[in-house]
């Protein structure tokens, strides 16, 4: 599974990574996405350094799954673009909560 974490450097994104490590979530590729000011920086996860990428770059990579924890405006703009590429999107923002066409998990 090619997995993207959008908002990886934020509080919720960091918690997602912590839980992934605790639960031994397996993936073939991990794409960490953050704001433009963080792009190019590295983040350590499971003893490996990952370079923070832009959301545009990761969308073009068409991950299998993307977990969004970057706020409603980011989700409203980018989640549909990821979904159009066949990506399963899990959104943690309030953007889609009242949309009857979206499943809540």
Q: Which domain holds residue 61?
A: 2-91
Decide: 59 and 78 in contact? Cβ < 8 Å.
Answer: yes
Among 34, 43, 30, smallest CA distance to 6 is for 34
Flag whether 101 is in a domain.
Answer: no
Specify if 38 maps to a domain: yes
Question: Would you say residue 100 lies in a domain?
Answer: no
| pLDDT tens, position by position, 20-63 | 999 999 999 999 999 999 999 999 999 999 999 999 999 999 99
The band of 97, judged by pLDDT with boundaries at 50, 70 and 90, is: confident
Contact call for residues 74 and 62 (beta carbons, < 8 A): no
pTM for the full model?
0.92
Burial of 81 (0-12, 13-18, 19+ CB in 10 A): middle
Assigned domain for 98 exists: no
- Tell me, yes or no, whether 71 lies in a domain: yes
Query: Which residues, other chains included, contact 83 with Cβ-Cβ below 8 Å and sequence gap of 6+?
Result: 89
> So what's the pLDDT on residue 99?
81
59 contacts 82 by C-beta, under 8 angstroms: yes
Average pLDDT, the chain: 95
Q: Using 50, 70 and 90 to split pLDDT, how confident is the model at 95?
A: confident
Whether 104 is covered by a domain: the verdict is no
Q: CATH number of the domain that 80 lies in?
A: 3.40.50.720
């Amino acid at each position: 599974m090619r997995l993207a974490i959008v908002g990886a450097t934020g509080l919720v994104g960091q918690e997602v990574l912590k839980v992934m490590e605790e639960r031994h979530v397996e993936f073939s590729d991990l794409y960490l996405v953050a704001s433009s000011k963080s792009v190019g920086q590295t983040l350590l996860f499971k003893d490996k350094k990952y370079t923070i990428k832009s959301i545009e770059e990761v969308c073009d990579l068409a991950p299998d799954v993307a977990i969004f924890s970057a706020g409603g405006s980011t989700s409203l703009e980018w989640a549909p673009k990821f979904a159009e590429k066949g990506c399963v999107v899990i959104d943690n923002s309030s953007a889609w909560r009242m949309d009857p066409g979206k499943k809540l998990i």
